Amino acid sequence: MSCFLLTGCFGDFKTGEQLYNSGAYEEAVEEFSKVLFVSITDVKTLHLRARSYEEMGKYADALADYKKIIVLNPQYAYAYAGIAKIAWDREDFKEAEKNLLFAAMIEPEDYDILLFLSRAMIKNERYKSAIEFLNLAIYLKPEEPSPHYYKGIAMGYAGDGLGVIVSFNKYIDLEPNNVGALYNRGFALMKFGYKDWAIEDFDKVLDLEPKHYGALARRAVCLMDKNPGQSCFDLETAALNGNAFAKDHQSDCTISR
């Protein structure tokens, strides 16, 4: 019997969307495929089917749908973003950045696209460009912490120590107990010679994560003049646990004696 005579052949987008939102991705694909059997150019349905394929790990099928969308509507930014996400998962950061640039040109005020693009640029060592797009993301959502964190990372790679401190200051104001931000700010403060402030950050890191041997080693170096005995003990502890910075600075203990 012809499929056109069977009502079961015709899908319903809302049903597919509900299945997708509930995590029933295989069933969602089946429903979206029924919709597309009749409406083969329905971009919205193609997009959610592609997302369902992604969640199932069927990247080739997802990419095929994203590419169909771009043929049908070259200005559909989220198809480029979908391709970028798959590229990111495959650690092809250049491909991810290329597609995110397309997406950002189409949707220049989409916060998520700008943030994702900035992260790809950091991976590709394009720190100045990453900072520019992070500034746009911050302008759109100044109270969101993530752009300040990634800006601090980009500033660090770009060699702007003061920029690291400023960015992580803002991030820590918004997320006071983030170990990575506290550690990176402490590292930058140490580099600029602000040892007492660096020690405060490393203390906070160790309160939150007692086995953070990077913080232990750097705090030890900052404390060497004030408390060489404790510093040498901490350096030995960090070195025994494989911290390279601690191993490089164990000779400081010989000098301090």
Q: Which residue range(s) make up the domain with 28?
A: 1-74
On whether residue 25 sits in a domain, the answer given is yes
On whether residue 14 sits in a domain, the answer given is yes
Looking up residue 69, the CATH number of its domain turns out to be 1.25.40.10
What percentage of the chain carries pLDDT values higher than 70?
94
The pLDDT value given to residue 85: 97
Continuous H helices in the chain: 13-21, 25-38, 43-56, 59-72, 77-89, 93-106, 111-123, 127-140, 146-157, 161-174, 179-191, 195-208, 213-223, 228-240, 244-249, 251-256
Q: What is the pLDDT of residues 221-245, one digit of tens each?
A: 999 999 999 999 999 999 999 999 9
On whether residue 70 sits in a domain, the answer given is yes
pLDDT at 4 over 50: no
Q: What is the pLDDT of residues 9-30, one digit of tens each?
A: 567 788 888 988 989 989 989 9
On whether residue 29 sits in a domain, the answer given is yes
Q: What is the pLDDT of residues 137-163, one digit of tens each?
A: 999 999 999 999 999 999 999 999 899
Mean pLDDT of the chain: 92
On whether residue 166 sits in a domain, the answer given is no
On whether residue 189 sits in a domain, the answer given is no
Q: For residues 28 and 49, what is the distance between their CA atoms, to the nearest angstrom? A: 7
Q: What is the pLDDT of residues 79-123, one digit of tens each?
A: 999 999 999 999 999 999 999 999 999 999 999 999 999 999 999
**Mean pLDDT, rounded, for 68-77:** 96
Q: How confident is the model at residue 248 (pLDDT cuts 50, 70, 90)?
A: very high
For the chain, the domain total comes to: 1
